[in-house]
A = this chain, B = another copy of it.
Amino acid sequence: MIGNLIEYINSKIDSKLTESDIDLLSETFHLKRIRKHQYFIQSGDVCKIAGFIVKGALKKYTIDNLGKENILELYIENWWAGDKESFMIGTPTPYYIDAYEDTDLLVITKEDFNNKLSKLSCLTELNNALTERQSFQLMKRLYSSQTLTAEQRLEQLQNTHPEFFQRFPQHIIASYLGMTKETLSRIRSNALKK
């Protein structure tokens, strides 16, 4: 289990993790299993853990006053799940995250993150790099959301994250793209006719 995390970190940093780094990681991260449809976090929670996905798939969303899910992020293997703002600052999260497949996570508490992992400078750097990357991608998604048509947004997602289409059903993809499942279905059937 922890092997996936080690491999992931090594692939993202310039140096390599030492034996003692790996020991530290092994005793700090814990396995958490979530079955399909179970929550990882719920709106109102303070997000006290962050999780690295070893296996499985999750979705992050809000629920509006009509009970409709608005999906904001999709997560699969080798991604981090959680609400970073709530985790870092300690504010209640407005989001839900639940498992779309049975999922294995390696989780870490805020305390361990602050106390134990701050010693691993490569991890702090990795965290910073990921935050930065996340912010670049959000900028692009915001731009797409404001300026592209539903059809263009679909095409873009097919280019940037083709794997999502293998893992999530169409109505979830549609919500992630900010459109209804009916619209997505019609776009696809029109595309076929061409």
Shortest C-beta distance, A70 to chain B (Å), equals 5
Quick one: given A70-B147, A147-B64, A147-B70, are A88 and B132 in contact (CB under 8 Å)? yes
B interface footprint on A113-146 (CB within 8 Å = 1, 0 otherwise): 0000000000000001001101110110111011
In the complex, which range does the number of interface residues on chain A fall in?
Answer: 20 to 34
Known: A85-B139, A141-B142. 16 other contacts (CB 8 A): A64-B147, A70-B143, A70-B146, A70-B147, A72-B139, A72-B146, A84-B132, A85-B136, A88-B132, A134-B135, A135-B135, A135-B138, A142-B142, A145-B145, A145-B178, A147-B178
Nearest B-chain residue to A178, judged by Cβ: B146
A156 within 8 A of B: no
Q: How far is the CA of A142 from the CA of B85 in the complex (A)?
A: 15
Contact A84 B136, beta carbon cutoff 8 Å: yes
Contact, CB under 8 Å: A147 / B62 = yes
Interface of A is mostly: helix
Q: Please, how many angstroms separate the alpha-carbon atoms of A70 and B148 in the complex?
A: 11
What CA separation (Å) do A64 and B148 show in the bound complex? 10
C-alpha gap A178/B178 in the complex (Å): 14
Contacts of A72 in B (CB 8 A): 139, 142-143, 146
Q: Looking at the assembled complex, report how far the CB atom of A42 sits from the nearest CB atom of chain B, in whole angstroms.
A: 17
Residues of B within 8 A of A142 (CB): 72, 138, 141-142, 145
Q: Which residues of B contact A139 (CB under 8 A)?
A: 72, 85, 138
Min CB gap A148→B, angstroms: 10
Q: How far is the CA of A138 from the CA of B70 in the complex (A)?
A: 16
